[in-house]
Amino acid sequence: MSVVSTRLFQTIMADSGLQLPEWRIVMALPGNQPCSSNDLCTLTAMDAARVSRAQRRLEELELIEVKPDMADRRRLIVQLSEAGMREFDRLQAAARMAEAELLDDMPPADRARLKSAVARLFNKL
């Protein structure tokens, strides 16, 4: 599963210039923004140092906006910029296309079993 996901990720990310930690943040934000940097650690299953590095790079690329929380100035609030939303849409479409190509030769019953098996494995984590 690791090899398959890594190769699929490399295909999707070939022209984006993003690394996996940055991609995780971009993909986690749309349904969870605005959120704190600590929330991103939970959402992406990454430690604070990795989130911080990825967040800085995404900010340099102008894909996210990071602002102090007005209620608690110790917290940083993160959300996608307009460019970040466009990149999210592009990456999501590329991921769906790559998935469709990967599963194209698989019969529908096998696809359903695969989806069910992966969901069961994920739920055990």
- What lies within 8 Å, CB to CB, of 35 at 6+ separation is 29, 43, 77, 78, 79
**pLDDT computed for residue 45 by the predictor:** 92
Q: How many helices (H) and strands (E) does the chain have?
A: 6, 3
Q: Domains plus CATH for the chain?
A: 18-90 (1.10.10.10)
Predicted confidence (pLDDT) per residue in 68-87, tens digit:
988 888 888 999 999 999 99
- Taking residue 58's Cβ as centre, other Cβ atoms within 10 Å add up to 25
**pLDDT computed for residue 64 by the predictor:** 97
Q: How does the average pLDDT of the chain come out, rounded?
A: 91
**pLDDT computed for residue 110 by the predictor:** 95
**pLDDT computed for residue 8 by the predictor:** 82
Three-class secondary structure of residue 62 per DSSP: coil
Query: Is residue 16's pLDDT more than 90?
Result: no
Q: Given pLDDT bands bounded at 50, 70 and 90, which one contains residue 111?
A: very high
Both tokens assigned to 69: 């929380």
